Amino acid sequence: MKVNGSWKMRVPLVVCAMVGLADSPAIAQQSSGVSDKVATQIALSRRSSSLGSLRGVTMEPGGYSLAAVDIVIDSVSGSVERRSVSDQEGVFRLDDLPAGTYRITASKEGFVAPAPATVDVTQNQVANTDITLAAAATAAGLPASAKADAAPLTEREKQLLDRIDRLESRLAAMEAKEPQTSVSQTAPGTAPAPAVVSPSAPKPGPVQVAGVAPPPPIAPPQSTAPVQMAQAQTAQSGNPGAPVVEPAAPPAVDLQTPFADYDWTWLNGNPRNKDVAFDSKFFTPEIRADLTYTYDFNRPIDDSMGGSSELFRSNEIQLEQLGLGGDFHWDNVRARFMTQFGAYSTATIRNDPSYAKGQWDLADADRYLAEAYGGYHLNVMHGVNIDAGIFMSYIGLFSYYNFDNWAYQPSYVSSNTPWFFQGIRIQTFPTHHLKLEPWIINGWQSYASANSRKGLGGQIKYTPFPWLNIVSNEYGLGHDDLYAPHRGRIHTDNSIEVKYYDKPMKYIDKMAFSFTGDLGCEFGGGVSCYTDKKGGPKQSFVGFMVYDRTWWDRDLFAFTLGGGMINNPGRYLVLIPPINGETAASAAINSPYLTFNPGDPFKAWDVSGTFDYMPRQWLTFRFEGDFRHANVPYFTGHNGITPPPGTNNGFPTEYACMDGTPSLTATGCGNDGGLWTPDLRKREFLLDIDLLVKF
């Protein structure tokens, strides 16, 4: 989340405190010791799961694995319908099934499936079943070779015969090289040789959850996929004396790695990739590309837009971000980096005023890095990660990376609050459904510290069920207003995400909603959380946003409708429009056209509709419309926000005259063509088309 123009700096209005993680644990926000006045508790009863899993292998006669078989299961009671497709090794899996009896139906073009079978799924157990499908030719009562004599072979039959010939040749070669694998050649009392494991078997991708670093580099439990026994099973065909090798039991549900037992790709703010494109024991690379075309119906003549941390130019095709990086992991040591080439490298840094304090030009030093940290993993509880550097905040629920989100332009609660922090975070996982993450940071989305006091904060994340995600972020202590050294800030950000419909077999397959609510204020240094004569003008933040998303046609398409509103007297979390090159640092001195004085009112609301076409898990085509409104002129109008003669004059803290000359007063341009005024409007309507890629 990007730093807010007037700098978004929030302190936890509610600081996270955990209450009782025993037999019926409850989660509460933990007091940081800074704000004793406010505490909000979230109590959630954790109930024991009644879900089970189903695993199996689809095969041809003779034990050959068969890929791309459609699997449909439905409960005898009719309350559950699920669908899966076996992978390239013939394995299929269905998790999170209520306990009960299920009918299993398999189908594949060119094959005849057996009659539907039934299987019992029990609580916290994995049920195993194998399905054998016969080729259509042999199922009709004729061997494939006989049918070939009677009628020309179809392309499918030719492919099957060719596959059988190749497999038989491989089997003969194996038997010629390693005759000792037969039962008759195994010495009495000696265990048979293990089945050959295919080195090409796909590895499961790491579970990625917003706000959680990739899974710790601890060695996962070793397991062998059932289909990796296929080469040994082929000995059964044509060799009645060969041993029958039973498939190994599928791996159990991962109850150790945090958040690994459920599929969280539906979450807003979480990447939807179910697989990892590239991986190694030492490094998992990550590549992102975010390109957008935005049309602003205000039609600014300078193509410059303001009031957003995602969209910056109108009527142009722009590279918002090119991210290259990934995760290093070895011997419990970890590191991550991600670049941000494109508009983000300029727009994000200008929303942080802290770099203006002192020397060494941090704005240029860090502008091309979205994330950069190193750390260490401890094998205690369900893992502890200690990281230091630049890391994502996920305050406001939406991810900094648009590929991960349900919408491109989030509402103000997200767009105006921190996207990143620099400092130290400690991720602890008391259970695989619970994360407690304290922060010790330089400040509110800041590379440096605007004043001497640092910031404290943290996150609680709880996922008790596969359809529920609860996140609470808190911030406090920091003095984050540049040139206001005694002004403190507190902020609380709380979100809930619920998947209320999940029918993979149906055309409309998923529905979910998210709700986020924020509270915060500033106090001291001439302002107050409440309006009173002693404390000064009220400086506070209240806002919310809600989004609802529907997926259909096996997640090929999705539509999201959402929006929200904020009330921010004092405007300390209002993004500063780049009028005449204005930045958060210059606005801290003076903003001549849109003021940021204590108590200045700002109320805004927005609504958006987003249509996604997702032909691959790595690619999204997005089409979005946004309407945004403020109670004061704020958005770029037709005449733009760049002074004549069409370029910034280099003095954003002063007024600009029509000939480009700066003026300390609004009346000082009499001899310079008169005062120039930016064109600001109360409303903005946008259409954008986006191409989003993530590997």
Could you tell me if residue 668 is inside a domain?
Answer: no
* Residues 503-530: b if buried by 16+ CB within 10 A, e if exposed: eeeeeebbbbbbbbbbbbbbbbbebbbe
Amino acid identity of residue 449, one-letter, is S
Q: Is residue 4 part of a domain?
A: no
For residues 248 and 306, membership in a common domain is answered with no
Q: Is the dihedral of CA 470, 475, 480, 481 positive or negative?
A: positive
- Asked whether residue 348 falls in the same domain as residue 393, the answer is yes
Report the predicted TM-score, pTM, of the whole model to 2 decimal places: 0.67
167 and 99 in a single domain? The answer is: yes
Domain co-membership, 238 together with 353: no
Q: How far is CA 562 from CA 278, 288, 549, in A?
A: 34, 25, 9
Whole-angstrom Cα distance, residue 662 to residue 652?
Answer: 9
- How confident is the model at residue 30, as a pLDDT? 33
In a domain, residue 574? The reply is yes
Q: What total of structural domains would you count in the chain?
A: 2
Please report, for the domain that includes residue 93, its CATH number: 2.60.40.10
Q: How many CA atoms lie within 13 A of 17 on its CB side?
A: 15
Q: Are residues 242 and 280 in the same domain?
A: no
Could you tell me if residue 372 is inside a domain?
yes
Domain co-membership, 34 together with 116: no
Pair 346, 380 in one domain: yes
| 234, 378: one domain | no
Is residue 201 one of the residues assigned to a domain?
no
Beta strands in 110-182 (DSSP E): 111-112, 117-121, 126-132, 134-135
For residue 229, what is the DSSP state?
A: G
Shared-domain flag, residues 475 and 338: yes
Q: Within a domain: residue 673?
A: no
- Computed on alpha carbons and rounded to an integer, the radius of gyration of the chain in Å comes to 30
Burial readout 583-595 (b: 16 or more C-beta within 10 A, e: otherwise): bbbbbbeebbbbe
Low-confidence stretches of the chain (pLDDT < 50) are: 1-49, 138-140, 142-150, 179-207, 215-246
The pLDDT of residue 209? 53
**Residue 208 CB-half CA count within 13 A:** 20
Give the pLDDT of residue 404.
96
Tell me what pLDDT residue 268 has: 96
Query: Does 657 map to a domain?
Result: no
CATH label of the domain that carries residue 325: 2.40.160.10
Amino acid at 642: T
CB atoms within 10 A of CB 295: 14
Bridge partners, residue 265, by sequence: none
Residue 601 CA: distances (Å) to CA of 285, 526, 570, 632, 633: 45, 16, 6, 8, 12
Per-residue pLDDT, 300: 96
For residue 462, give every residue at least 6 positions away whose Cβ sits within 8 Å of its Cβ, in sequence order, or none: 27, 42, 44, 433, 434, 435, 469, 470, 471
Are residues 312 and 231 part of one domain?
no
Asked if residue 229 and residue 322 are part of one domain, the reply reads no
Which residue range forms the structural domain that includes residue 133? 51-184+222-255
Residues 358 and 238 in one domain: no
Task: Identify whether 15 is part of a domain.
Answer: no
Closest-CA residue to 245 (of 285, 310, 194, 175): 194
